[in-house]
């Protein structure tokens, strides 16, 4: 019997049984159930259960707060309930837009590949380093075998993503893999290097060569084929989920095992080549023509557009529309359009991951960030994008904006690439002119430094741990054996309010930390925990306490009450005093302050919120002095 099996059985029984569970996910500290009927759950029993901190019902989720060993409890609940063993860490809330759902879907499909993605990225970076310093030569067998290891995941990405997308869309996983394998099938991949059968749409920006047909319908392949692409296979597997569902409804049970996959593949794969191929090729051509026009209008504008959207282009395989422009420009004496503009993008991504690694309290996230950072410096940004910035949404947007600034600087300074060089740090030599002029390299170095600093600083300022939406497998064998929690009592008696109702953005936005607000019913403030008063403002309106267990607590009586300059406030303790929980700290004339026109809604903030895995606020509407207001995990 497992360590948490008994707890898992009790939790499952008191959420209404496994038949009442629609889905189960987990975040850093909470089991997040979506129940068919929340009224069947025994909330009071769960709250009193040993091993459970509390229960929160919010946003359509029934959240059982466990603590930092929640992955192990999650695994136990899955085992007891017979649910899927896949663990998902979700963002708070259900009300998300289409774009957010799309990003969540994409990042969710990538998450299972993250470990290998980081590993192969590091191998590619190491190989580039060995080649640069002449330790290995590309003609050597050792180099080629290591290159095969490093390129394996990236080249056959559609196969891996076909598998994970199939799990996401509830399709036969081997059908998903077969779709991905079809896209990178060597014969198909080599078609575009042969002689074209004919050309369609001559004279237009979507002029395309046709190398093969399917039932006399032209098949237009994107330049470079489908190797390393992302979106085509995901769209194809999504289509397969619809086709497979119809096929299962029509085909007799006795032959479903082989006929359903057969019908699904015969419909989906040709449609992918016929529809997705042309769409990708034409969109890439449109982007290529648009960026050239932008450069002719203004190199700065072109740099901003290419730099800002480069990572998005790569995700969708649309960057191939810009490669011919770069190659043609290099042949004519140097490319000032594409390569310099996109150069800063990989460094902006890497800087964002460094910022996340610095800010996160999650040891698993920090450990995964190291290979992502290393591979990012060598220009391999897939681990950074799909493992870190894209799932968290805001950091990805920040990196795109930072890369746009870098691209704009490159355009402003007129930097050029003279060869199609290496990636990341190994791309700098491509910026040295044939005559030995290094000014272009210096210009790009400036763009990279500015973009990296901008990305790092903004992500550092805006990153919030509870905004993470990523996936992880249950591999935590070193979970905390005991639940560690710290309880902060209420320093006041009164009505409990969320911080969002405080009429001061510094508090309501959570910028100063998480917490609650109280509308006091009497004019007294008591110590919320044992600790030391480190600050007692002379005006008496605010008190800062460091609790003996390390919590940093700010009690701010009312809004703008500092303007009273101490009037109506009568301190009962002083700065530096050692206090005990429940000790009277302050008296104030509640009626007089309100008659002066001041709000007495008082925030109680945990200013070192980032030191904790989770901050749980009370769900009581009214509270007595000393009652549990905030629980820290």
Span of 334-348, 448-462, 476-490, 590-604 with lowest mean pLDDT: 476-490
**CA triple 57-61-65, angle to 5 deg:** 65
**What pLDDT band is residue 215 in, cutting at 50, 70 and 90?**
very high
Phi, psi (deg, nearest 5) at residue 577:
-70, 140
What is residue 67's predicted lDDT score, i.e. its pLDDT? 65
Q: What is the mean pLDDT of residues 115-126?
A: 73
Q: What is the mean pLDDT of residues 186-205?
A: 81
Higher pLDDT, 570 or 61: 570
pLDDT digits (tens, 9 = 90+) for 289-332: 777 777 788 889 888 988 999 888 776 656 655 765 675 566 56
Check: CB of residue 511 under 8 Å from CB of residue 491: no
Higher pLDDT, 78 or 100: 78
Residue 479 pLDDT more than 60?
no
In 378-494, where does DSSP find H-type helix? 382-384, 394-413, 439-462
What is residue 477's predicted lDDT score, i.e. its pLDDT? 37
Q: Among residues of the chain, what percentage have pLDDT more than 70?
A: 84
What is residue 467's predicted lDDT score, i.e. its pLDDT? 40
What's the mean pLDDT when you consider all of the chain? 82
pLDDT digits (tens, 9 = 90+) for 77-94: 888 888 765 544 444 444
Q: Among residues of the chain, what percentage have pLDDT more than 90?
A: 33
Higher pLDDT, 189 or 161: 161
**What pLDDT band is residue 481 in, cutting at 50, 70 and 90?**
very low
The predicted model scores a pTM of 0.51
Active site residues: 27
Highest mean predicted confidence (pLDDT) among 272-286, 316-330, 459-473: 272-286
CA atoms within 13 A on the CB side of 556: 25
Highest mean predicted confidence (pLDDT) among 93-102, 370-379, 582-591: 582-591
Span of 121-130, 339-348, 384-393, 408-417 with lowest mean pLDDT: 121-130
What is residue 196's predicted lDDT score, i.e. its pLDDT? 82
What is residue 393's predicted lDDT score, i.e. its pLDDT? 82
Higher pLDDT, 350 or 294: 350
633 by Cβ neighbours in 10 Å (0-12 / 13-18 / 19+) ranks as: buried
Phi, psi (deg, nearest 5) at residue 514:
-85, 160
Quick one: how far is CA 627 from the chain centroid? 36
Domains located in the chain, CATH noted:
5-95 (3.30.1360.60), 156-297 (no CATH), 298-470 (no CATH), 486-632 (2.70.70.10)
Given strand 569-571, what is the order of strands in its sheet? 524-526, 584-588, 569-571
292 by Cβ neighbours in 10 Å (0-12 / 13-18 / 19+) ranks as: middle
Check: CB of residue 159 under 8 Å from CB of residue 232: no
**What pLDDT band is residue 493 in, cutting at 50, 70 and 90?**
very high
pLDDT digits (tens, 9 = 90+) for 451-463: 999 999 999 999 8
Pairing of strands 30-35, 542-547: unpaired
As given in the structure block, the two tokens for residue 449 are 């430094």
What is residue 187's predicted lDDT score, i.e. its pLDDT? 87
pLDDT digits (tens, 9 = 90+) for 24-38: 877 556 787 888 888
Residue 480 pLDDT more than 50?
no
What is residue 482's predicted lDDT score, i.e. its pLDDT? 42
Higher pLDDT, 222 or 15: 15
Highest mean predicted confidence (pLDDT) among 29-43, 119-133, 153-167, 456-470: 153-167
Q: How far apart are CA 233 and CA 189, in angstroms?
A: 15
């Amino acid at each position: 019997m497992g360590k948490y099996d008994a707890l898992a059985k009790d939790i499952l029984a008191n959420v209404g049984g496994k038949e009442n569970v629609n889905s189960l996910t987990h975040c850093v500290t909470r089991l997040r159930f979506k129940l068919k009927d929340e009224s069947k759950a025994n909330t009071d029993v769960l709250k009193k259960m040993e091993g459970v901190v509390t229960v929160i019902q919010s946003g359509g989720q029934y959240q059982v707060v466990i603590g930092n060993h929640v992955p192990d409890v999650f695994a136990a609940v899955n085992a007891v309930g017979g649910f899927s063993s896949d663990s998902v860490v979700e963002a708070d809330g259900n009300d998300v837009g289409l774009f957010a759902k799309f990003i969540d879907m994409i990042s969710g499909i990538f998450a299972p590949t993250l470990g290998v993605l980081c590993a192969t990225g590091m191998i590619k970076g190491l190989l580039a380093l060995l080649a640069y310093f002449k330790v290995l030569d590309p003609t050597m067998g050792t180099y080629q075998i290591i290159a095969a290891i490093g390129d394996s995941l990236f080249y056959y990405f559609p196969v891996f993503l076909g598998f994970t997308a199939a799990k996401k869309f509830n399709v036969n996983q081997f059908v998903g893999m077969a779709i991905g394998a079809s896209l990178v099938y060597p014969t198909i991949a080599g078609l575009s290097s042969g002689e074209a059968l004919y050309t369609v749409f001559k004279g237009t920006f979507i002029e395309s060569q046709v190398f093969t047909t399917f039932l006399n319908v032209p098949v237009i392949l994107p330049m470079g084929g489908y190797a390393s692409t992302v979106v085509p296979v995901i769209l194809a597997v999504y289509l397969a989920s619809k086709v497979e569902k119809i096929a299962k409804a029509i085909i007799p049970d006795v032959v479903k095992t082989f006929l359903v996959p057969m019908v699904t593949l015969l419909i989906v794969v040709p449609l992918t080549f016929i529809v997705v191929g042309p769409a990708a090729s034409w969109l890439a051509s449109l982007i290529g023509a648009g960026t050239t026009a932008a450069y002719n209008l203004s190199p700065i504008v072109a740099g901003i557009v290419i730099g800002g959207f480069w990572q998005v282009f790569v995700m969708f395989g649309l960057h191939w529309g810009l490669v011919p422009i770069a190659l043609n420009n290099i042949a004519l004496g140097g490319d000032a359009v594409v390569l310099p503009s996109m150069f800063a993008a990989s460094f902006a991504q890497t800087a964002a991951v460094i910022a996340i690694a610095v800010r996160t309290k999650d040891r698993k996230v920090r450990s995964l960030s190291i290979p992502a950072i290393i591979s990012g410096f060598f220009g391999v940004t897939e681990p950074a994008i799909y493992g870190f910035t894209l799932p968290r949404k805001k950091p990805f947007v920040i990196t795109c904006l930072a890369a746009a600034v870098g691209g704009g600087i490159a355009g402003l300074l007129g930097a050029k690439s003279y060869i199609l060089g290496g990636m990341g740090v190994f791309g700098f030599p491509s910026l040295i002119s044939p005559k030995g002029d290094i000014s272009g390299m210096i210009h790009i170095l400036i763009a990279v430094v500015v973009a990296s600093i901008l990305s790092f600083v903004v992500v550092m300022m805006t990153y919030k741990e509870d905004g993470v939406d990523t996936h992880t497998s249950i591999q935590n064998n070193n979970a905390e054996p005991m639940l560690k929690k710290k309880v902060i009592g209420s320093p006041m008696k009164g009505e409990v309010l969320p911080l969002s109702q405080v009429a001061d953005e510094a508090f309501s936005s959570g910028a100063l930390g998480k917490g609650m607000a109280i509308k006091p019913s009497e004019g007294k403030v008591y110590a919320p925990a044992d600790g030391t008063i480190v600050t007692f403002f002379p005006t008496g309106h605010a008190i800062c306490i460091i609790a003996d267990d390390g919590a940093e607590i700010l009690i701010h009586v009312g809004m703008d009450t500092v303007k009273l300059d101490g009037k109506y406030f009568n301190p009962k303790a002083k700065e530096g005093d050692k206090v005990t929980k429940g000790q009277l700290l302050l008296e104030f004339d509640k009626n007089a302050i309100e008659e002066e026109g001041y709000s007495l809604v008082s925030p109680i903030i945990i200013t070192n919120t980032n030191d904790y895995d989770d901050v749980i606020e009370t769900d009581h509407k009214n509270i007595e002095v000393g009652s549990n207001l905030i629980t820290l995990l």
